[in-house]
């Protein structure tokens, strides 16, 4: 494991959208251009790096996350870069493309009954955590997700916006 992955990812570009010539542009940050295809790449990198620094991860740790897709793809990619085993716990019926991407990055996928939704996946992830050296990022309850954006995404936005002044973020 070597926590350098985060520093190899360039900031996502931003583009101006002009809806009306009488109004300033709306700047759109193209987060789909992150390596894993979504803004979830940011939380995956941040959470793994922080857990490593705090000693909650080691090369034998398995990362397990409950997700319906994008977060698991991001963690599968980050874990592949960091040399960590990853298990996505997902409800049956998620798109096959998501499953294929996770597996392409070396992640494993375990399914829970569709009718239980993501809650069932969360319960299964918690059960798996009781079986050994497991790190649960807990995307739905982890305040570090917002911190990843405060320290990373927000800095990029400020650096990329002409004048460095942001009026509104959506």
Q: Which residues are catalytic?
A: 40
- Return the DSSP state at 9: S
**β-sheet bridge partners, residue 89:** 66, 110
The strand pairing partners of 16, in sequence order, are 27
CA distance 88 to 64: 6
Q: What share of the chain is helix, strand, coil (3-state, %, to 5)?
A: 45, 15, 40
Cβ within 8 Å of residue 35, ≥6 positions away? 9, 41, 77
């Amino acid at each position: 494991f070597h926590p350098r992955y985060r520093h190899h990812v360039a900031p996502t570009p931003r583009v101006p959208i002009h809806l009306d010539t009488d109004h300033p542009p709306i700047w759109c940050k193209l987060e789909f251009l992150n390596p894993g295809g979504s803004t979830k790449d940011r939380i995956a990198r941040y959470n793994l790096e922080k857990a490593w620094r705090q000693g909650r991860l080691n090369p034998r740790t398995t990362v397990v996350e409950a997700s319906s897709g994008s977060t698991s793809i991001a963690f599968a990619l980050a874990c592949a870069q960091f040399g960590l085993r990853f298990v996505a716990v997902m409800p049956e019926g998620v798109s096959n493309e998501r499953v294929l991407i996770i597996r392409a990055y070396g992640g494993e996928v375990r399914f829970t009954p569709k009718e239980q939704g993501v809650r069932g996946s969360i319960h299964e992830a918690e059960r798996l955590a009781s079986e050994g050296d497991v790190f649960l990022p807990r995307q739905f309850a982890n305040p570090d997700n917002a911190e990843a954006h405060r320290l990373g995404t927000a800095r990029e936005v400020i650096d990329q916006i002409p004048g460095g002044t942001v009026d509104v973020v959506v």
